[in-house]
Structure 1
Amino acid sequence: MTTATRRSPAVPAAARSDWEDLLSPTPDPEPYDSAMGAALPAAARRWLDHAVAPGTPLRRRVEMRQHGQLRLGGRWWAFRSRQALDPLRGYVWPVSTSLFGVPMVGVDRLHGESAEMTHRLLGLVPVVRASGADLARSAAARAASEICWSPATALDPSVRWREVSDTEVVALVPVGGEVHECTLLVAGDGALPGGTTRRWAQVDGGPWRWHTFGARTLAEGTFGGFTVPTRVVAGYGDDYAGEGAFIQLMVDAVTHR
């Protein structure tokens, strides 16, 4: 494992407009009341009551500071990142790491139906540059799955719900022109042990196709009335938290706007 710079990466100039738009304040956020989820399946209601303290303004946009490890080429590389997130509209994720001692900075972003990945060694030499419909479809599934960091989004009228059991519920989240089915596992106390969705992706250099994309929550924390995951491992396939894992993420700070 390598070490990443201790400083959070800057938002690239080309992504600043999207960053600011995604973090524009939620208009007229209502204070949370448990009765707001009365029409939702029991597991979804239990999650919301756990995740949102009574009276908390239902702010949907999220700014996070993070660190962790990414698996690339069979090795784990330390990184630091920031994120602007509105699950229904997209995200901007600036990230910094170091490959064999050479600093690399980049940004993954989705805004509406447009997505882009750009990563540069020394901030100058492009090593990853991608865009297009396949990437946008993949990024939209990521945004939908990150509803766990924006519990207020669960009450948006465009998000539909399907009950599976008392401990499992499906959120149907519209992002990027498609509806993404996100299965949430809900513990007895309302915490989220994990979840899965189908994600359009290239895995290990293979072709674009649908894969199981899942995450396991290892810890959670409370920020401004919202209780959200703070330590997560995620990846592809049936063993997404083991052999299929490609990211170990720790969330250092969360602000809902």
Structure 2
Amino acid sequence: MVEAITKPEEISLDDLWKSVSIDNGVFQPELLTNLPSLARRYLEKAIAPGTQLASAVRLWMHGEIKLGQKWHPFQAEEVICWDRGMIWQATTEMHGLPILGCDRVVDGVGNASWNTIQRSGEDITRSCVGRVQAESVWLPSVLCRPDISWAELSVSQVQATFTALGEPGKITLTVSNQGVLEQIKVDRWGSLEGEAFHYSDFGGIVEDSGTFDGYTIPARLRIGWFFGSEPFESEGESFHCTIDKAIYK
């Protein structure tokens, strides 16, 4: 009997999590000796020695999301699997009615939806991949991989260059003297206010950190488009979240 092949858009959040294979490798700070000092400082703060080098994270979060011109409280669950993709599922309310939202990209197929309104295609897939690149800070073990290239931009900024889900990307991290992550920024593919899709600055401010299973990650963030410029707070900021729980695999 031939097994039915599950299409990428039919894979559930639980399916994606269950598909992750466990790596027996553990974090050893001495393996970072060839990295710039700021990158080492960040990773040594983000991962406790002896922690399993995970390739996936499952997150539970709550916060506020801007839909149109109004902010709405949300709760969400997310799985990021570095080698396959990401699924983020959220619930909120609008005019007293429940709304379900989902961003996802799995095995090269992405889509975004709120209730019955769905968007898909190459542009949405590339935009969702950009989200995965930005959210690598919730899975810092992948930034220890040998295919990551690091460059120190200043005394407080370091940049990682890599390929995620087939798309080249760069993430710029602002890091304190103690190795605490303060800001993140990526060039993310997107369409703002009906414009044609293009790369724009996307990122946010880390307001607090939390430690889960040996990983110290951003636990409270303000995120959006136009990061690093004046329109960020007035137009681009669209997502406030607090991480309630994170588990690694």
Could you state the TM-score of these two structures normalised by the residue count of structure 1? Answer: 0.87
The match for 2:200 is 211
- The structure 1 residue matched to 2:162, chosen from 150, 173, 177, is 173
By how many angstroms is 1:28 displaced?
2.8
Q: Structure 2 vs 1, CA of residues 28 and 232 (structure 1 numbering), >3 Å: closer, same or farther? A: same
- The structure 2 residue matched to 1:132, chosen from 118, 121, 132, is 121
Q: Distance in 2 between matches of 1:145 and 1:39?
A: 24
- The structure 1 residue matched to 2:189, chosen from 197, 200, 204, is 200
Amino acid at match of 1:165: S
Superimposed CA distance per residue, residues 42-61 of structure 1 (whole angstroms, 9 cap, x where no aligned partner): 11110111011111111121
The match for 1:228 is 217
SS at match of 2:133: helix
- The structure 1 residue matched to 2:62, chosen from 58, 67, 71, is 67
Q: Structure 2 vs 1, CA of residues 245 and 171 (structure 1 numbering), >3 Å: closer, same or farther? A: same
By how many angstroms is 1:88 displaced?
4.6
Higher mean C-alpha deviation, range 105-114 or range 181-190: 105-114
Matched, 1:242 2:222: no
- Equivalenced residues, count: 238
Q: Distance in 1 between matches of 2:107 and 2:155?
A: 33
Amino acid at match of 1:203: L
Matched, 1:152 2:141: yes
CA contact (8 A) 1:89 1:111 kept: yes
Superimposed CA distance per residue, residues 46-94 of structure 1 (whole angstroms, 9 cap, x where no aligned partner): 0111011111111121000011111111110111100001245321001
The match for 1:6 is none
By how many angstroms is 1:166 displaced?
2.9
Q: Distance in 1 between matches of 2:231 and 2:136?
A: 19
By how many angstroms is 1:159 displaced?
2.1
Q: Structure 2 vs 1, CA of residues 72 and 228 (structure 1 numbering), >3 Å: closer, same or farther? A: same
Could you state the TM-score of these two structures normalised by the residue count of structure 2? Answer: 0.90
CA contact (8 A) 2:20 2:81 kept: no
The match for 1:14 is 10
By how many angstroms is 1:26 displaced?
4.3
By how many angstroms is 1:251 displaced?
0.7
Superimposed CA distance per residue, residues 165-218 of structure 1 (whole angstroms, 9 cap, x where no aligned partner): 232111112123221111111111111101111111011232211111011100
Q: Structure 2 vs 1, CA of residues 49 and 236 (structure 1 numbering), >3 Å: closer, same or farther? A: same
Aligned sequence identity (%) = 28
What is the root-mean-square deviation of aligned Cα atoms in Å?
Answer: 1.7
Matched, 1:186 2:181: no
Runs of at least 5 residues in structure 2 that lack an aligned partner in the other structure: 1-8
Q: Structure 2 vs 1, CA of residues 163 and 22 (structure 1 numbering), >3 Å: closer, same or farther? A: farther
CA contact (8 A) 2:103 2:113 kept: yes
Equivalent residues in 2 for 1:37-48 (5 A)? 37-48=32-43
Q: Distance in 1 between matches of 2:23 and 2:203?
A: 33
- The structure 2 residue matched to 1:77, chosen from 66, 72, 90, is 72
Runs of at least 5 residues in structure 1 that lack an aligned partner in the other structure: 1-12, 121-125
Amino acid at match of 1:254: A
By how many angstroms is 1:25 displaced?
4.1
The match for 2:27 is 32
Superimposed CA distance per residue, residues 142-175 of structure 1 (whole angstroms, 9 cap, x where no aligned partner): 1011111111101122222222123211111212
SS at match of 1:139: helix
Amino acid at match of 1:103: P
